[in-house]
Structure formats: C-alpha cells, structure tokens
Structure 1
C-alpha cells in the first residue's frame, strides 16, 4: 500500500490518506504541516522507495536503503540505489508490467542517477543491472546511468599515523562509468551464461554509464576544497526531464552531487548526502519539492559522549559536518523558497517521527517526514 500526498495547486484541500501512512503518521499530520491527499490523477510524482540513511540496518526499523523514483508520465527515473530497490519498485507498482512475471517493474525505467558512490547509495545498482533482464529491463533504449566521476586521489588519512595501502591501488577511486564496467567484469560469468545459454542481450545493449561532467574549475583539489561555491549546471535532458547538478558537502567524498529535475509539472531537488552548503540553496531555488537528508545529532553524541578527546571530537564533528543536522534543514528550505520539504535519508533510521518534526522550525512551507513507499504528486 502506498501513502499518497499532493504538491502544488491540488494541495489546497485535505482528503483521506492511504492506510500505509499508519495511524501515528496521520495523528501527527497537523504538526508536520501536511495534509494527506490523493494523487488527483497527477502524472508526475515522487515515490520514496527507501528512506533509511547510512549503511547500518537500523534495529527496529523497516526502512529500506536510500532510493527515490521520479515518475513522469509513462516512465520513471531512479535516484540512488540503496538496498531493496528492486523489491520496492515492484511494491510501488512502478512501470506498466509490475504484475507480470519477468516483465516488470523495470520496463519503464528511463535513467539512474547516483548522488555519490558510498555503498548505501549504490549497493543495489548491481541488482538492477544483473537481474534486470528478468524484471523488465529492455534493450529498446539504453538506460543512461549517471553519477560522479573518479575522485583522482585517495582521501587524506583521518587522524594520526601512517596511511594504509589503498584497496585496488591501480585504480583506488573509480567513478560511475568505471564502477559500472567493473560490475560487468565481476559478474561476467553470469552475463555470459545469459548471453550464450538464454540468448539475452549483451550488457552494453541495455545501458550506458556516464560520469557527470562537473566543470573542471571546480575539480581542483578534493582534499582541500571538495565543495566550492558554484552555480548549478545542466548535464542531461530528454523529452521528459531536464537534470542539473551541483557539488555538495559530503567530505571527504568527492564528487558528491545534488540533483534538480525540472519537468513540465514542476521541479524536484535531491540534496544527496551533504552538510550545510549554499550550493543546495542555489540548486533548490523556488523548487516545488526539496528532498533533503538529515541527521539527529543526538546519535553521534551517543557514540562520542562528552568529555571527548581530540580524536573523538574530530569524529563527532566529521559526522555532523558531512550531514545536515535537524536545526539547519528548515532554514535551508526556507532560504531556497521551496514549497515542500521532504525528509529522507534519515540518520539514524529508527527515530520516531516526533524527532524529525523539529526540521519544520524556520520553514513556512509543508514538511513531509518521508516513509518508504510514500507517493507525492507534483503539480496541479
């Protein structure tokens, strides 16, 4: 079951909510400042496939790994591929053949966009690629896969001591295109079995991976300036969406990207993993929806309780600066002038909604605390 909400002109009145949002969610609707709404036939909608943040499988939480889908007409685009994407896409009834064995839900997949290459954002990319042929992935049009390029150098060692030998020293920081090629190499036995025994298409007939072309002037030194202030740039456009990107502050990860999708119905922005940065405000300016990550800093405080030594303080600051704390999220959305703020990539993923309600402080728009399989209609 899906919980459905409306954004835009159709959101002026309140109606009944799908049961999937749970009694607790419905009871707190007033304080979250959104009304549960039907989709009203909207053809453009945001589907939260997974809303958990980070690699932990949080105790007591059923949230799946971070991933969203933007549905535009008869196709959809996936943003990040955390654990559970394939199952969630079927549960969300994406595509046109989600009820047919081996023909959905990937029959309408039109693109994959990765914000950065941490495992919790890419771990199920392989599942989409290697099992896609048996879940609707077609060779009619190659699916574009976009994400950050090669970092160029390993991060500096955090804390004192001698740096370790890097993993895969010949290519320690592959970008999206290289990573995708390496997935094919790693699963060549499977791909060749499908090719020779099942007469399935070759991988390169199904998708094409690309590194997002961040302008060179912003790529100078990932260790000292991983998020220079910049204007968003457009790198992808088809008949349904125009996609722009900016660097975000998830140091030492580089490049880490936020994305903006502009459609005829409205605009949706995904922050990716980031600390507070003016780049997100520029990217999200006057957007209909901003999907933003958040961290409850009481969690790192519990990991590193005071008094902290220098190393512990460094680790604590590292966590809260590479993510956005609760008190900063609302003001970011307010300054950007967005209509609706949707919280996703919740760290930790097992906090009750009441904790996240504080993200609405300093924000005059609608706040939606994201849950897996929520559906948010875009436009009137």
Structure 2
C-alpha cells in the first residue's frame, strides 16, 4: 500500500527513516513532531544520508518534520565538552592495515582543558569523529606516533574537514618526531587544488587561505626512557617518548596528563622498557595488540595455499608488535589502572576470534578496544567512566 500524506503515513515512514539513521550511528537527538504521535531519533550523520532522509520526508508531505530535523541538527551541541574539567579519551580507530568493517585504522582522540587533539589519523577515523558529533570545529592539533600509512592516511581529511567546519584562519598544527615536516608538506601539496576550489566556491572570507594548510611541529627524539614535552597549556600536558617499532624509526608514544589524571598511548611497538617507564601509574594505557598465535597461523595457511609472498608479509609483522599477553604484562609492571587493547590484529570479526585473541590473558583490568569507546576521567579522582557512541 502506498503511504499516505497523513500524519499516520508520515509517522510510519519517519519511523523507517529513524531506523536507517540508527544503523548509521551517531549522537542521538530526540525530535517530537506535534502532528504525529511518533518520536524520531536522528543521528549526526553524513550530508548524503541526511539529504536522502529529508527528500523522503518531503515527498509525503512532512515538510514540518523535515524542518525540525534540520533545526535539531543545526542546534545540537557537541557530544563532548572539552572544557568540562575532565580528561576525555575516545577510540576513533582501533583497527589495523587489514580491512575491518567494524574498525577504522589507528586513531585516539583526547579532549581536556578546552583542547581537542587527535593522536594518529588512520583511514576511516575522521568519519567516526563526525558521526559521533565530536567538536570537529575545534581541533587543536594532530599528534603522529610514526608514519605508517594506517596512522597518517586520513590526515588530509582532518586538515580539510576541520577547516571547513571551523573556518579557521591559521594552519592546523601537526606534531611528530623527525620526518613529520616531509609528511605534512606532502599532504599540503596533495590537497592544494582542493583548497583552491573551496576558496573559489565559498570565497576567502569563509575559507581563509592559510586555514586549509597544516604546519609541522617536529621534536627531537628523547633518549630511551626519557620524555619530551610537546604541548603544555591550560593544565593539559602532552609528552612524547621513544618506543621500539624497528625498522620503523622514529616511533613514539604519548603520555597525556590533566587534572591529576594520566593516559598513555603506546603507538606501534614491541615490548618496550621506555614505554613501561613512561606509563608508570597511568590511569589508562591504550596499547597496541597483535596475536602472534593467530597471525602465525595466517602466515602458514596462506603459504600452504600457494601464496608465499602474502604468507611472508603476514609472518613479518610478528617481530615489531606486542601480543595481548605482553601488553598486560606491561600494564601490570607499570601499575596501570586500566589497559585498553587497540590496533587489534587480526580483525576481531566474531566472538571465536576474539576469544583466541586474548587466550591465556588475565582480563582483570583489560578492555578490548572498539571504535566509539569513550572514557571519561574526572579531575582529581580515581574514577574511569566508560561509555560508547
């Protein structure tokens, strides 16, 4: 039966649209249309999906509902207030270079003291930040741990989309070890035409020329076990320390401190004494994890299947990553309150693989990271609040 333009028909379609939006994920806003007894939950979704929903609604005479949806989206606040006095951590990418429908590549967002930093920008991570309605118009900077593609692949979108959202007048700061200048220069060059197009279309008044650029802030590699401060303002302090991801050099992790709380992000590394030292007493350790057992099997099976090159590549990764068991040992040795496993390899596509992934690991104080996990650390407290987008 063709839907009518009555309140009942509009409500039924609206419910279907709401279900579609829910599948897309996002930060939900309740919208009550007075002319129909239904409540829509609308996510902060991409422009294309929103446009499709609005067209569907308008076609059945739901113009009022359409306008309410647009108004709600335009006025809804960011999902996290970076100035609320707490230290916030969001996992915006817990995957790896291997394709994973449920996880973007490496990315961790940190919000505190009115600042919003993104640690690594792996493919797919920026879309997550938009969908979850983080304050993308207030990105303070990006911190890179190293220059593997799965850690920098989304940097151009972070630069460009945060410029579009904010209209900032100055370049986006990108912090990293030696080599970050070449990486930033490459992205600036690659997006040069895009910046020209956007300024021509929207005018320089709304798209200031320098705002579309990134500017590199490189720091000297600290001695093993030591740390160097790369940002210190408004009570938020970020320090970098060396880790062992050889032959990938340089490679660093970061320690973030705010309001008497601390978070450590390992970056990619083997078991590292430098990381243990710099993670001492941290409330939260976000540590990479790769199952040697599972990837060893993958290497063998792929080789036996007649694909020796891929088998070798799968086997090679075993020597510069950390197993879940080793990550737990590091957390225990450093006296960490909560260990969160990220950069999970292989992709954890079902419960069986996940069980093998952490087999033999004492899971007390351990969380397997998923995209969308949000940790809130209130100042001067021992509480770690956990939620999910």
1:155 is aligned to none
User: Does structure 1 conserve the Cα–Cα contact (< 8 Å) formed by 2:171 and 2:210?
Assistant: no
Which of 347, 350, 362 is the equivalent residue of 2:348? 350
1:320/1:247 Cα in 2 relative to 1: closer, same or farther (>3 Å)? same
- The answer for unaligned runs of 5 or more in structure 2 is 1-24, 28-79, 382-389
Which of 83, 100, 108 is the equivalent residue of 1:68? 108
TM-superposed deviation, 1:67: 0.7
TM-superposed deviation, 1:69: 0.6
Asked if 1:183 corresponds to 2:187, the answer is yes
Q: Could you give the per-residue CA deviations for residues 36-73 of structure 1, whole angstroms, max 9, x where no partner exists? A: xxx9x87321111111122x213xx4111211111114
1:367 is aligned to 366
Which of 205, 208, 216 is the equivalent residue of 1:201? 208
C-alpha separation in 2, matches of 1:144 and 1:312: 37
Which of 121, 131, 146 is the equivalent residue of 1:91? 131
Which of 217, 229, 239 is the equivalent residue of 2:234? 239
Q: Could you give the per-residue CA deviations for residues 315-361 of structure 1, whole angstroms, max 9, x where no partner exists? A: 67642221001221111100011111011110112253433444742
1:368/1:359 Cα in 2 relative to 1: closer, same or farther (>3 Å)? farther
TM-score for the superposition, normalised by structure 1: 0.69
C-alpha separation in 2, matches of 1:192 and 1:256: 34
Q: Which structure has more helix as a fraction of its residues?
A: 2
Which of 237, 259, 262 is the equivalent residue of 2:254? 259
Q: Matched residue pairs, number?
A: 290
1:331 is aligned to 329
2:377 is aligned to 378
DSSP-derived class of the 1:126 partner:
helix
1:345/1:312 Cα in 2 relative to 1: closer, same or farther (>3 Å)? closer
1:127/1:2 Cα in 2 relative to 1: closer, same or farther (>3 Å)? closer
TM-superposed deviation, 1:304: 2.9
C-alpha separation in 1, matches of 2:232 and 2:85: 21
Larger radius of gyration: 2
DSSP-derived class of the 2:134 partner:
coil
User: Does structure 2 conserve the Cα–Cα contact (< 8 Å) formed by 1:328 and 1:359?
Assistant: no
Asked if 1:293 corresponds to 2:333, the answer is no
Asked if 1:53 corresponds to 2:96, the answer is yes
- The answer for unaligned runs of 5 or more in structure 1 is 4-38, 96-105, 150-174, 219-228
C-alpha separation in 1, matches of 2:261 and 2:336: 11
User: Does structure 2 conserve the Cα–Cα contact (< 8 Å) formed by 1:246 and 1:257?
Assistant: yes
User: Does structure 2 conserve the Cα–Cα contact (< 8 Å) formed by 1:265 and 1:378?
Assistant: no
Asked if 1:304 corresponds to 2:299, the answer is yes
TM-superposed deviation, 1:300: 2.4
1:44/1:359 Cα in 2 relative to 1: closer, same or farther (>3 Å)? farther
Which of 144, 147, 154 is the equivalent residue of 2:173? 144
User: Does structure 1 conserve the Cα–Cα contact (< 8 Å) formed by 2:298 and 2:311?
Assistant: no
TM-superposed deviation, 1:87: 1.5
Which of 180, 193, 196 is the equivalent residue of 1:192? 196
1:213 is aligned to 220
TM-score for the superposition, normalised by structure 2: 0.67
User: Does structure 2 conserve the Cα–Cα contact (< 8 Å) formed by 1:94 and 1:108?
Assistant: no
Which of 121, 141, 145 is the equivalent residue of 1:111? 141
DSSP-derived class of the 1:69 partner:
strand
User: Does structure 1 conserve the Cα–Cα contact (< 8 Å) formed by 2:168 and 2:211?
Assistant: no
C-alpha separation in 2, matches of 1:357 and 1:137: 45
Deviates more, 1:229-238 or 1:256-265: 229-238
1:258/1:286 Cα in 2 relative to 1: closer, same or farther (>3 Å)? same
1:129 is aligned to 159
DSSP-derived class of the 1:182 partner:
helix
What RMSD in Å do the two structures reach over aligned CA positions? 2.9
Which of 112, 117, 134 is the equivalent residue of 1:77? 117
1:313/1:371 Cα in 2 relative to 1: closer, same or farther (>3 Å)? closer
1:191/1:260 Cα in 2 relative to 1: closer, same or farther (>3 Å)? same
2:37 is aligned to none
1:322 is aligned to 320
1:186/1:358 Cα in 2 relative to 1: closer, same or farther (>3 Å)? same
